[in-house]
Structure 1
């Protein structure tokens, strides 16, 4: 700090003060005192005081700002907040100067000493010189607002255009105003703090009562058994299950030890985890079987610390979950522990006395702890708890709705359950609930399907109890929703598995029937010809012998084709066949295939083949390069999988010939475009009934009108599986006794020639 900037400490002794200044000071102090008495508002008084100081001391400006409040300023023009008085006066730069000075000399001001800089322009620090240049700042006096050990702000007077010396009376005048202003400011802050704390306390007390009432109501809606025990294993209180409790408790259990009310094994297990929960502050979850009414059931107990030496235990029946997941047989053995009557009575009396003493000592503490206990119960429960009014509109939803449906509680409040369902499901559930709401009866275990926020379906099990006000008027329902989606998915998987097993059984039956028939006839023919050759081969002519040999060869070829078809289907289903593209001349390929098929046709069918090539330029754009592209496609060679194509066309043509009258015509049309080949195979055969068309591509399936025409039911199945590998498409048009047309569309690839 340069010597010329060192703050000047002025004396505060009993100096003679100008009478006029004393009179004005008294008036201003009286105004400030009215703020302390509550008749004036401090923020409204700030501009008035600043304007009075500006006029009385004849300075260029006066700036007053508390450190914890937005600054207020008054100039010789008008008394306004800073943000409304800076455009014409250049005050933004002065505000930055004064704030910088306040921060730099805070330790000096905190001692109650005024900061006076009497030097002209050029003596200020360099970083402030540029800011004050437009204002021609000459003199500054900054008096702290000091109360106790805290510096609450400052009153800053400044003079522009010419230098000014401050008199001792003026300094004492300003310090007197600053001291009273600091007292008023402190009083206002304390008053505001008191009002804020009082309001917050009232809000917390009100919220605490509302929360306790709601939590108690929700606790009653929970269908499970809930009880509290202390570290020593004694019951403090309990709530029974709505129906079918897995652990039976009564009011007589309060004050008793776990071992007095539960089986020894269960009581020991719970007590062990009570200690763990108290020591670790972590939720403990245990599962255990228990025999009830001669039946083995399973329960899940969630143990959470709810006080210094006590826990809350929520017991839920999970028998269905355990049985569905593990499919275990019910356990036949169960242990029952009988405690002597005299010991039980003694423990009951001792615990009742102990509980009464504890309740009396903790009466004031219960209100605070009850909210925490109920909140913990809601948070650890795996169920979504809700309340709805008489119009089925949700008025409350616990945070668990996020885990079940992906919604925040605020998003659910104001909606109905039916807003979260499909239209069909909403109609079904609405009809079911109507029978309960009319009679104001509780309902439980109502299965319904909701729509998750991510559009997935969630199956819930809903239970609810009616709500009535003090005069018995029906107000709505409160209850819980439990997610049973996994359980329902397991049921669906079992049903699907049974259906698939049935389908496989039917497929196996068809396969056995087909193979036994298709193999028996060729084997009979082979056996018959072989036996005839054995006995009469030396007597027959060479022509007759060759005829029987050809019969044997044809039957062997027929069985070989049948086996090859079965093997091909097996290879396709196991993923062993992949698409292998090779160059191909489609017109020549089809011509050769038709020739080979006709060689084996003994019914004198006519196969008519037509080939057409679309104009590729029609598929192109209309730019100037269209003719060149068309010429390139015309000279291109297509690439296709010849093996798969042969399987597709050979099976379709063979079926067309097999099911067509002798001497009829079978037509095959091939149309090639820039990216696909379209084959149309049409016959004049028996046609396919409409009820058979949907199952025609199933393995071993044959039409109901085939009569005595032999077949395996594999041909069209092979065609469909080859098309799946090829990513092709097949369409069917058929009319009984008129004929059938199959349209096969296959993608092709071209390599342009040079």
Structure 2
């Protein structure tokens, strides 16, 4: 359609007063064709409302005059205005502070260029950061958005923490340099001023840093109190009883001799991070400064000041893990948003095209042709419902991370019931075979998780198999538990994709236009994990796939034989 095909009645209602839900119904009726029988139109309208009001994102539509024609519940909540005050109002009148902002320029750019836009922007009147996806549609603009204020605050807090940590590191490095300079000065003046020597010894013995002095042969000449405590050097033992290599791992000491000491001899100093080890075997992450002290008519001495940075390293690791989790969450949200946009666009386009044909050529369509278009609309609305069911799988997958709730389950009967259901749905498209071991038994299992697992395994086998091919379920028992095997003659899985086939949103390159969201594999993996089971996959492209599930379980008494 070139623009929104609104009836004169609807246009007058938009001009004279805000649109309520009944008015949006009237707007949707215009789109669905006034000649459509009332029950079908009502069903389609209700299903569309349900779909839009249950998506995770906030969503609104404006027409070419920038007037709101629809907002879902999430949008009404985030915009903090009553739905009745927004429907029929121009967006720039309802939100005058948005004029001249990124929202204003990006929305206009999408409408004029017909290209989508994704951006994150702060809206001061609502004191909220929004992540926005704007897409042009025939006759107006559709906008999806979400509140990402918490994420932005976390990013800002992390950035402040990193900056504070960097400043503390710089301060620590400066402190180490100052202490080394002081140590060098005090050693040079020790023969000239005894009191200065005593003051230096007092500093070295009270500082929390580890201070040591070695000769050119690597023999310890001095170990301060902090170093003795940290490195498990017994009180009262002379420093000369020990060698420097005793306080490092073998591989680290090789690096010191090969790389660090040549630099100290060349430049006079070295500063970096290394692991030191106490005589008790405890390893400590440390920041270390080594300084060469030349003496007249004597070999040089080397002082080292070492600071325990284990806590700092722990904080850095936590920050890295937090940032990694945030990046993974952001990527998951982005993939989910892309998936929603992609999977919903095709059904909506088919609905729009079919309604357009009915509206334009209603007087020339035969009843059979009109019924064909209406049936196509109904099928696509049903497809949208299936997509929403798939997206709700995310929530169920999260719940699967909770402890399972086992009860006594006849797994054979469960598989028979599922096969019966799927045969009715599949009709005669595929040959569904079952090989269930006689004399089934009762097991202590989670019925809900296993039902989800078997349905998804069989549904995937049917979905990705050609018409007329065979899908087989094989169930057997032994002393170790249960073995379930689902095999098909479908499109198969590429070798490099097998490790990812049970990841969220992952779909193979060879699935073509077969609908799906890539969420069922998560349910399968989590259900197996909840029962401490094992999951194996054997697949070849264009040959087929076999999935084997092993569930350890304690068998109870046998039950009557059942065959599907």
Considering the TM-score relative to the shorter chain, is it more than 0.5?
Answer: yes
Q: Name the counterpart of 2:507.
A: 702
CA RMSD of aligned residues (A): 4.2
Q: 1:684 to 1:574 in 2, by over 3 A?
A: closer
CA–CA distance in 2 between the matches of 1:321 and 1:509?
26
Whose radius of gyration is greater, 1 or 2? 1
In structure 2, the residue matched to 1:477 is: 302
Alignment of 1:234-383 (within 5 A): 324-325=164-165, 373-383=199-209
Residue 225 of structure 2 aligns to a residue whose secondary structure is coil
- Partner in structure 2 of residue 397 of structure 1: 223
Which stretch shifts more, 599-608 or 657-666?
599-608
CA contact under 8 A between 1:388 and 1:395: conserved in structure 2? yes
Counterpart position of 1:667: 472
The yes-or-no answer on 1:414 pairing with 2:242 is: yes
| Runs of 5+ consecutive residues of structure 1 not aligned to the other structure | 1-319, 331-365, 614-633
Question: Corresponding residue for 1:559?
Answer: 384
Show the 5 A alignment for 1:298-697: 324-325=164-165, 373-401=199-227, 404=230, 408=234, 414-417=242-245, 420-421=248-249, 423=251, 425-436=252-263, 439=265, 441-450=267-276, 458-467=284-293, 471-474=297-300, 476-527=301-352, 545=371, 554-573=379-398, 577-601=402-426, 604-612=429-437, 637-697=442-502
Aligned partners of 1:418 and 1:381: how far apart in 2? 23
For 2:82, the equivalent position in structure 1 comes to none
**Cα separation, partners in 2 of 1:740 and 1:496, compared to 1, 3 Å:** same
- Whole-Å Cα distance in 2 between the matches of residues 670 and 537 of structure 1? 58
Q: Which secondary structure does the structure 2 equivalent of 1:733 belong to?
A: strand
Q: 1:471 Cα deviation (Å)? A: 2.0
In 2, distance between residues paired with 1:387 and 1:583? 71
Q: How does 1:2-81 map to 2 (within 5 A)?
A: none
Deviation string, structure 1 residues 125-157 (Cα, Å, up to 9, x no partner): xxxxxxxxxxxxxxxxxxxxxxxxxxxxxxxxx
Rounded to whole Å, the distance in 2 between the matches of 1:583 and 1:322 is: 53
Separation in structure 2 between the aligned mates of residue 638 and residue 648 of structure 1, nearest angstrom: 16
- SS state at 1:705 partner: helix
> What is the TM-score with the length of structure 2 in the denominator?
0.55
CA contact (8 A) 1:404 1:483 kept: no
Structure 1 residue 515 displacement after superposition: 0.8
How far did 1:644 drift?
0.9
State TM-score, norm by structure 1: 0.43
On the 8 A contact 1:606/1:664 being kept in 2, the answer is yes
d(CA) in 1 for partners of 2:409, 2:461:
25
Per the TM alignment, residue 512 of structure 1 is displaced from its structure 2 partner at its CA by 1.5
583-592 or 555-564, which deviates more = 555-564
Change (3 A) 1:640 1:441: same
Contact 1:571 1:577 (8 Å CA) reproduced? no
Alpha-carbon distance in structure 2 between the residues aligned to 1:322 and 1:642: 48
> Counterparts of 2:400 and 2:342 in 1: how far apart (Å)?
29
The 8 Å contact of residues 652 and 681 in structure 1, kept in 2 or not, is answered as: yes
Equivalent pair of 1:665/1:683 in contact (CA under 8 Å): yes
428 and 530 in structure 1: CA distance in 2 versus 1, 3 angstrom threshold: farther
Q: Distance in 2 between matches of 1:610 and 1:635?
A: 12
Q: Equivalent residue of 1:401, what SS?
A: helix
Residues 1:678 and 1:548: Cα distance change in structure 2 (over 3 Å): farther
Cα distance, 1:393 vs structure 2: 5.0
1:394-441 Cα shifts (integer Å, max 9, x gaps)? 454333236645665769963545863373x5554444214325x364
Give the Cα–Cα distance (whole angstroms) in 1 for the partners of residues 234 and 279 of structure 2. Answer: 10
For structure 2, list consecutive stretches of 5 or more residues without a partner in the other structure.
1-159, 171-192, 560-564
Q: For 2:382 and 2:250, how far apart are their aligned partners in 1?
A: 59
Contact persistence 1:420–1:450 (CA under 8 A): yes
Sort the Cα spacing of 1:324 and 1:455 in 2 relative to 1 into closer, same or farther, 3 A: farther
